[in-house]
Amino acid sequence: MTSLLVNLEEMVRSALRSKRKTACIVMMIIALLVLMIRSRSLGSSEHIGPYGDGDVLFNHDHVVGFNIKESGKRTSVVMETRLDYLQRECTTHMDSPRDPSLDPPSELIVNEKYSIIYCNVPKVGCTNWKNVFLKIGGIDDIRIKAIQRLPTNTRGRIYLDYFHKYSNVSHRQFMLQKFTKFMFARHPFTRVLSAFRDKLAPNISYIFRIENKQRHDVNWIERYGLPIIAKYRGAEAAAAIKANLKTKYDLTFSEFVNYLIETNPLSFDKHWNPISAMCRPCDVKYNIIGKYETLDDDAEYILRSAKVDPSVKYPQASDKSATNSSSLDILRQYYSEITREQLKKLYEVYKKDFELFDYSLETFYKYVS
Ligand SMILES: *[C@@H]1O[C@H](CO)[C@@H](O)[C@H](O)[C@H]1NC(C)=O
Ligand SMILES: *[C@@H]1O[C@H](CO)[C@@H](O)[C@H](O)[C@H]1NC(C)=O
Ligand SMILES: *[C@@H]1O[C@H](CO)[C@@H](O)[C@H](O)[C@H]1NC(C)=O
C-alpha cells in the first residue's frame, strides 16, 4: 500500500508539472482511489470513551459575550439550559419554518461513523472543526503530500460529506432523527469584528498578512472593501485607492458597519451572515449548542459525547489569537468608532442571533461614541 501511495504522490507531482487538463484527470483518479481507501479504513475498531468526559465547570467571565449565568455550572447543565432557552425562543420565532430534510441548510457536515452532524459557520472555529472531521473521516491517514498540502478548506470541500448532497430524503430524515447535531454560536458583535479584522481591515487583514495568496482565495478587498468605499465616498475615491492599495487602502470599521446595516442580509457573505440564518436552529433540532466563548470546553464535551477516539482533540485557541477580536481592548477600540445609533441598527441586523442564543448588547453601549 505504501509503495502505491508513493507512486501516486509522484504521479501528482508530475501531473502538476505538466498540462492542467491532465493534472485534473489524474487528481480525479486519485480522489477516487482515496475514497476507496477511506471507506475501507472506516470499518476499523471503535473506541468508546466515557460519556461526559469533558464535563467541566464554566468560569469564563472575562470573555466578552460569556453568559454570566453559566458561571460555575457543569457543561451538561449549561448545555441543557441553552437548549431549553433556544426552544422557548423558537416558539416566538416561528416566522417561516422549513423542513430540513426537504430543504436542508447547505452548511451541515455529516460523519456517519460517529453519527454526528455539524453546522459549519465561519468565524466560529470552523476550520478547526473541518480538521477534526477530516481526521475522523480518515482523510489525514492518507499519506499523500499533495493532498495534505491542500488548505483545510479545500480538502473539506472535496472530502467532507455535506448533508444537502445526500439525495435520499428518507436517509436525511433518519440522520436528522438519530444523529447528534451540534452547532456553535458567537456574540454577533465580536464575530462581525473578527470578520472585519480578518478579511477587510487595512494593514492587518488577510491580504496584507499572507504574501503568497492562493489563486482560489477570494480577494476580499476587491470584492467588498473597495465597493464599500465606493458606496460611501464615491467611485473616484475608490479608484484612487485601488491604484495604490498597499498604502492608501483605509476602509473604516464604521463604514463596514454601515454596509451591514444598509445591505439586504440575504446577500451577506457567510463570514458575516447571521448564524441563525445559516444553521436554522429552529428547524434543525440541535442536540448541542456550543459557544465560541467557551469553545475549548464545548468542543471537548462534544467529542467525548460523540465517543470519538480520545486521541482526537480539538485544536486549542488558534483562531482566537489570529485576530484577537474578542479581546476587550480591541473591541473598545473599534466600537468607539461607531455611534449609539449605528450600534442599535447593527443589533437589529443580528437580533435573531442575540435572542436565540441569549447574548446581550449591554457591554457595547459603554464603548460607542
Ligand atoms: C434511503 O434511505 C433509507 C433509510 O436510511 C434506506 O432504508 C433506503 O434503502 C435508502 N434508499 C435508497 C434508494 O438508497
Ligand atoms: C497602513 O500602513 C501604512 C504603512 O505603514 C500606513 O502609512 C497607513 O497609515 C496604514 N493605514 C491605516 C489605515 O492604518
Ligand atoms: C493577538 O495577540 C497576540 C498576543 O497578545 C499577539 O502576539 C498578536 O500579534 C495579536 N494579533 C493581532 C492580529 O493583533
pLDDT in tens, 219-235: 889 999 999 999 999 99
Spatial CA neighbour of 135 closest among 117, 123, 148, 146: 148
Q: 113's torsion region: left (phi>0), alpha (psi -120 to 50) or beta?
A: alpha
Pocket test for ligand 3, best of 207, 318, 321 (most atoms within 8 A of CB): 321
Helices within 184-307 (DSSP H only): 188-195, 206-209, 220, 226-233, 235-242, 245-248, 253-262, 275-279, 295-305
C-alpha cell at 86: 433556544
pLDDT band at 14 (very low <50, low <70, confident <90, very high): low
Worst-scoring range by mean pLDDT, 4-8, 103-107, 253-257?
Answer: 4-8
The whole-number pLDDT of residue 171 equals: 96
76 ligand 3 Cβ < 6 A: no
The whole-number pLDDT of residue 40 equals: 37
The whole-number pLDDT of residue 216 equals: 44
Q: Output the CA 324–ligand 3 centroid distance in Å.
A: 6
Higher pLDDT, 81 or 18: 81
The whole-number pLDDT of residue 16 equals: 52
Higher pLDDT, 340 or 60: 340
The whole-number pLDDT of residue 49 equals: 27
Residue ID of nearest Cα to ligand 3 atom 7:
321
Worst-scoring range by mean pLDDT, 18-32, 67-81, 176-190, 346-360?
Answer: 18-32
Q: Output the CA 285–ligand 2 centroid distance in Å.
A: 47
The whole-number pLDDT of residue 25 equals: 55
**Contacts for 139-148 with beta carbons within 8 Å, 24 or more apart?**
139/34, 139/38, 141/41, 142/5, 142/34, 142/37, 142/38, 143/2, 143/5, 144/5, 144/8, 144/9, 144/12, 144/30, 144/34, 145/9, 146/9, 146/12, 146/13, 146/16, 147/12, 147/30, 147/34
171 ligand 1 Cβ < 6 A: yes
In the chain, where the domains are located: 1-47, 89-192+268-366
Share the mean pLDDT of the chain.
82
pLDDT of 271 higher than 80 = yes
321 ligand 3 Cβ < 6 A: yes
pLDDT of 274 higher than 70 = yes
- The position carrying cell 475522523 is 136
Least distant ligand from the CA of 248? 2
The highest-confidence range among 120-134, 215-229, 271-285, by mean pLDDT, is: 271-285
Pocket lined around ligand 2, Cβ cut-off 6 Å: 202-203, 247, 250
Least distant ligand from the CA of 112? 1
Spatial CA neighbour of 109 closest among 120, 99, 122, 98: 120
Residues in contact with 233: Cβ distance below 8 Å, sequence separation at least 6, in sequence order:
none
Least distant ligand from the CA of 178? 1
pLDDT of 359 higher than 60 = yes
Worst-scoring range by mean pLDDT, 16-30, 162-176, 199-213?
Answer: 16-30
Least distant ligand from the CA of 169? 1
Whole-structure pTM value = 0.80
User: Residue 81 corresponds to which amino acid?
Assistant: T
327 ligand 3 Cβ < 6 A: no
- Between CA 18 and CA 141 the distance in angstroms is 27
174 ligand 1 Cβ < 6 A: yes
Q: Output the CA 354–ligand 3 centroid distance in Å.
A: 27
> In which order are the strands placed within the sheet that holds 161-162?
161-162, 108-111, 116-119, 180-185, 288-291
Q: What average pLDDT does range 27-40 have in this prediction?
A: 51
* Model pLDDT for residues 78-111, shown as the tens digit of each residue: 999 999 999 999 998 777 899 999 999 999 999 9
Q: Output the CA 32–ligand 1 centroid distance in Å.
A: 23
Q: Output the CA 223–ligand 2 centroid distance in Å.
A: 21
Higher pLDDT, 180 or 198: 180
- Between CA 366 and CA 369 the distance in angstroms is 8
Residue ID of nearest Cα to ligand 2 atom 5:
247
The whole-number pLDDT of residue 198 equals: 87
Q: Output the CA 273–ligand 2 centroid distance in Å.
A: 28
The whole-number pLDDT of residue 333 equals: 93
Instruction: Please give the share of the chain, as a percent, with pLDDT higher than 90.
Output: 48
